[in-house]
Amino acid sequence: MSVEAAELTNSKTVPDIGFGEELTGAEALLRCLILEQVEYVFGYPGGAVLPIYDSLYGSYLRHILTRHEQGAIHAADGYARATGKPGVVIATSGPGATNLVTGIATAQMDSVPLVCITGNVPQNLIGTDAFQEANITGITLPITKHNYFVRDVRDLPRIVKEAFYIATTGRPGPVLIDIPKDVSNQKAPFYYPDRVEIRGYQPTIVPTDEEIQRFLEEIKTAKKPVILAGGGIIAANADQELLAFAEKTRIPVINTFMGLGSFPGVHELALNMPGMHGSYTANQALLQADCVIGLGVRFDDRITMGRTKEFAPNAKIIHVDIDPAELGKNVSTLVTVAGDVKSTLAKALPHASACDTEEWLAQLKAWQAAYPYRYKKEDGALKPQEVIELLYETTRGEAIVTTDVGQHQMWVAQYYKFSRSRSLISSGGLGTMGFGFPAAIGAQLAHPDRTVISVVGDGGFQMTNQELAILGQYNIPVKVVIINNKCLGMVRQWQEIFYDNRYSQVDLSCSPDFVKLAEAYGVKGLRATTSEEARAVWSEALAHKGPVVIDFQVVPEENVYPMVAPGHTLDQMVMGEE
């Protein structure tokens, strides 16, 4: 356990829950969180949550005080993605609540279970534009799986129970509970329901035998089948079922960006990522496949390029997803199975047989050999891809890697071959800059014994780098790897390619000295500007027991390739430099 600060040691004994005891809403809320086995709460106090923070004083619950609510919710999100357990965040009314918005939308897009608790002004002031009042249930309506405004303290335990249930079942997602201050102060006898009954919510769908049979029937005769495995595999903890299914059927596996890690990156059947910056082989596989089996994917526009009619033109598409609304949403499918991908694969596995794919696999192998991800090495200059390769080689694909959004995110996807599930933590859907670093804090708290690397750009890091304070305060040993190209690299790349080199507002050369910045927070800071320095500095960072920030100053002109331009189809790949 590397988290050493006194605040994090769990010295306090589990409180007696005291059913029937008169408790305030705030006290009841914390009892509910304990009953939900919440390990960490991330948050930031303020006026409307004073009763909750008062109850937290001396509580058994471990609270991480971030330096911004956005840091809190991304940390809760990182915790949730790393564990599959719901992340919990508390913020005050008004600005505290609105600072959660980006984090809630991030979680919603990537189906991450979160329970977000916000305070609000007392009910007699609701609707009066009171100090720090915001209609957060209205604001978050389109970006939550569900939300609640608590009107009566007697409803609070039931609502908390429902919130955890809704967040974690079916297709997971964020749930927000808005608690006005008077409800936090009101008293009621404490209870906690032992089960949830929500008439309009039946999340568990197990596919029928007929559906499974149909699913297998279509696969059996395929000569060029390919599995497209997405974030649903990770959400359902179905990585072992996927591995067994692929090996038994001899069907190669493409992982979407959100699915990376759900299938071993170096497996003989692994084809890595498709789409805009995907591998040549993965994209060719989709173009030439006669059968595409989508498992927990949503065929988003970074894979179909928005050209849904031309997607996988030679294939019948089979789609398994827990969310029936995803079936037939983006692409036309031949067979759809509404169901949890874990139970679907478990049910299908005993009846599955090997497909005749040896010729197809040989073709894919040939493409992989001819068109690997590649970049031009230059003497003296440090290439960003080289840094990611270094991270991969030294951690053998076993680390948890969080990223921000942009070039470095794509290079992580391309060059870091994840060996296990829940190891790539990145905002795939919303594409949230500033996500990676706080998310790494949550992931490291969840897994104190694993190496957690936060790969960030110099742009995104500066959106949430104030959370360095927590690394220092709690001695959380995250390794922050800054791919510092002194500009907003992905925007610069697009301006180079599509806007005739007109580099508009992408220059970040006036960033702080990141080594000194780290040191200002009591965190070790290191820097590398050449390949040799990179190796030396990285092994020093890995050997260091505590948190480290490493400023890898890379060549600024590097672009992410392969690339399919927006509006083009997957056969129009630009391969980049030899």
Cite the active site residues: 69, 131-132, 181, 490
Q: How far apart are CA 74 and CA 67, in angstroms?
A: 12
For the bound state, the minimum distance from the C-beta of residue 329 to other proteins, rounded and expressed in Å, comes to 6
Q: What sign for the dihedral angle of Cα 502, 505, 510, 512?
A: negative
Q: How far apart are CA 62 and CA 328, in angstroms?
A: 43
For the bound state, the minimum distance from the C-beta of residue 108 to other proteins, rounded and expressed in Å, comes to 11
For the bound state, the minimum distance from the C-beta of residue 171 to other proteins, rounded and expressed in Å, comes to 9
Contact positions vs other proteins (CB under 8 A): 137-138, 141-142, 145-146, 149, 166, 198-201, 323-325, 328-329
**DSSP structural state of residue 493:** H
Helix, strand or coil, per DSSP, at residue 371: coil
CB closer to other proteins, 166 vs 573: 166
CB closer to other proteins, 323 vs 496: 323
- Positions of E strands within 4-50: 22-24, 40-43
**DSSP structural state of residue 413:** H
Q: How far apart are CA 183 and CA 175, in angstroms?
A: 19
CB closer to other proteins, 282 vs 337: 337
For the bound state, the minimum distance from the C-beta of residue 324 to other proteins, rounded and expressed in Å, comes to 5
CB closer to other proteins, 141 vs 366: 141
The count of C-alpha atoms lying within 13 angstroms of the C-alpha of 559, restricted to the half-sphere facing its C-beta, is 18
CB closer to other proteins, 149 vs 538: 149
For the bound state, the minimum distance from the C-beta of residue 156 to other proteins, rounded and expressed in Å, comes to 16
For the bound state, the minimum distance from the C-beta of residue 166 to other proteins, rounded and expressed in Å, comes to 6
CB atoms within 10 A of CB 209: 9
Burial of 486 (0-12, 13-18, 19+ CB in 10 A): middle
Q: DSSP letters along 299-328, please? A: --HHHHTT-GGGSSTT-EEEEEES-GGGTT
CB closer to other proteins, 195 vs 199: 199
How open is the CA angle 460-528-508, to the nearest 5 degrees? 35
CB atoms within 10 A of CB 85: 18
- Report the candidate in 97, 99, 140 with the shortest Cα–Cα distance to residue 121: 97
For the bound state, the minimum distance from the C-beta of residue 215 to other proteins, rounded and expressed in Å, comes to 20
User: Is residue 29 within 8 Å of residue 164, measured between CB atoms?
Assistant: no
CB closer to other proteins, 171 vs 342: 171
